[in-house]
Chains A and B, each alone.
Chain A
Amino acid sequence: MRATRFRPAVAAAAAAVMAISACSGGGGDEDGGQTTVTVDGGQPENPLIPANTNEVFGGDVLDTLFSKLVRYDPETAEPENYVAESIETEDNQTFTITVQEGWAFHDGTEVTAQSFVDAWNWGAYGPNANLNAYWFEQIEGYEEVHPEPEDPEADPPEPEAEKMSGLEVVDDRTFEVTLSEPYAQFPMKLGYTAFAPLPEVFFEDPEAFGREPVGNGPFQFASWTDNQEITVEAYEDFAGSHPAQVDAVTWRMYDDREAAYADLLAGNLDIMTRLTPAAMANEVYKDDLGDRYVEQEAGLMFTLTVTGNEEGYDDARFRQALSAAIDRESIVEEIFEGTQVPSKGWAPSVVIGAQKGACGEYCEYSPERADELLQEALDDGFEPPEKVQIWFNDDADHREWVQAVVNSINQTFEGDLEAVAKPVPTFSEFRAGINEDKYTGLLRTGWQMDYPHLENFLSPLYETGASSNDGDYSNEEFDQLMADARQESDEDAAIEMYREGERLLAEDMPALPIYTARTITGYSEEMTNVEVTPFGVPAFANLEK
Chain B
Amino acid sequence: MGRYALRRLLQAVPVVVGTTLLIYWMMWALPGDPFAGRCGERACPQDYIEAMNAQFMLDQPLLVQYSAYMANLVQFDFGVTYNMVPVSTLIAQALPVTLRLALIALAVEAVVGIVAGVIAGLRRNGYFDTLVFVSTLVALSVPIFVIARFAQWGLGVNLGWISPTVSNEATWAELLVPGAVIATTTTAVLARLARTTIAENLRADYVRTAIAKGLPRSRVIGVHVLRNSLIPLITLLGLDLGSLMVGAVVTEGIFNINGLGGLVYNHILRLDSTVVVPVATLFVLIYIFANLVVDLFYGVLDPRIRYE
Contact = CB atoms under 8 A, between A and B. Distances in A.
Contacts of B93: 225-228
Contacts of A262: 152-153, 156-157, 164-165
B31 interface: yes
Contact of A432 (B32, B167, B255, B269): B32
Interface string A110-147: 00000000000000001101110110000000000010
Contacts of A260: 165, 256
A446 interface: yes
A131 B46 contact: no
B285 interface: no
A460 B7 CA distance: 64
A255 B266 contact: yes
B14 to A, nearest CB: 33
Contact of A448 (B41, B45, B168, B258): B41
Interface string A247-269: 00000101110111011011010
Scoring B90, B266, B271 by chain A CB atoms within 10 A of each residue's CB, the highest score goes to B266
Contacts of A129: 45, 47-48, 50-52
Contacts of A255: 252-253, 256, 262, 266
Interface in A416-457: 425-432, 434-435, 445-448
B40 A266 contact: no
Contact of B46 (A7, A152, A259): A152
B44 interface: yes
B297 interface: no
A256 B253 contact: yes
A146 B38 CA distance: 20
A266 B163 contact: yes
Contacts of B40: 6-8, 54-55, 446, 448
Contacts of A265: 157, 164
Q: Which of A6, A428, A460 is packed against the most chain B CB atoms within 10 Å?
A: A428
A268 B164 contact: yes
A263 B164 contact: yes
Contacts of A268: 163-165
A290 interface: no
Contacts of B149: 258
A32 interface: no
A155 B39 contact: no
A2 B269 contact: yes
A448 B42 CA distance: 10
Contacts of A426: 31-32, 37, 269
A207 B42 CA distance: 25
Interface in A240-288: 252, 254-256, 258-260, 262-263, 265-266, 268
A102 interface: no
Residue among B32, B35, B156 with the highest chain A CB neighbour number at 10 A:
B32
Which of A6, A207, A256: most chain B CB closer than 10 A? A256
Contact of B41 (A227, A254, A468): A468
A309 interface: no
Given A44-B83, A266-B157, A445 B41 contact: yes
Interface in B101-130: none
Interface in B240-299: 252-256, 258, 262-263, 265-266, 269, 271
A520 B214 CA distance: 75
B42 A467 contact: yes
B160 interface: yes
A491 interface: no
Given A266-B160, A268-B163, A229 B168 contact: yes
B40 to A, nearest CB: 3
A206 B48 CA distance: 16
B36 A46 contact: no
B85 interface: yes
Interface in B129-176: 149, 152-153, 156-157, 160, 163-165, 167-169
B165 A263 contact: yes
Contacts of A468: 41-43
A33 interface: no
Contacts of A431: 36-37, 39, 43-44
A194 B141 CA distance: 53
Interface in B29-77: 31-48, 50-52
A156 interface: yes
Given A262-B152, A432-B33, A447 B41 contact: yes
B46 A133 contact: no
Most-contacted residue by chain A among B45, B163, B256 (CB, 10 A): B256
A435 B36 contact: yes
A130 B50 CA distance: 11
Nearest to B164: A262
Contacts of A384: none
Nearest to A268: B163
B84 interface: yes
Contacts of A338: none
A27 interface: yes
A374 to B, nearest CB: 29
A47 interface: yes
Given A2-B266, A227-B90, A54 B43 contact: no
B50 A228 contact: no
B218 interface: no
A1 B48 CA distance: 26
B41 A6 contact: yes
Contacts of B169: 26-27
Given A149-B46, A468-B42, A47 B84 contact: yes
A75 interface: no
Contacts of A149: 46
B90 A259 contact: no
Nearest to A460: B42
A59 B13 CA distance: 44
A355 interface: no
Interface of B: 31-48, 50-52, 83-85, 89-90, 93-94, 149, 152-153, 156-157, 160, 163-165, 167-169, 252-256, 258, 262-263, 265-266, 269, 271
16 contacts: A6-B41, A25-B167, A43-B83, A46-B84, A129-B45, A226-B85, A226-B89, A226-B93, A227-B90, A227-B93, A227-B94, A228-B168, A255-B253, A429-B31, A431-B43, A435-B36
Q: Ordered nearest first, which 9 A-B pairs have the shortest CB separation?
A: A428-B37, A6-B40, A129-B51, A429-B32, A26-B167, A262-B164, A256-B253, A428-B32, A468-B42
Given A127-B47, A148-B46, A259-B165, 10 more contacts: A26-B169, A46-B84, A127-B51, A131-B44, A156-B46, A210-B84, A428-B34, A431-B37, A446-B41, A447-B41
Interface of A: 1-2, 4, 6-8, 25-27, 43-47, 54-55, 126-127, 129-131, 133-134, 146, 148-149, 152, 155-156, 207, 210, 225-229, 252, 254-256, 258-260, 262-263, 265-266, 268, 395, 425-432, 434-435, 445-448, 460, 467-468
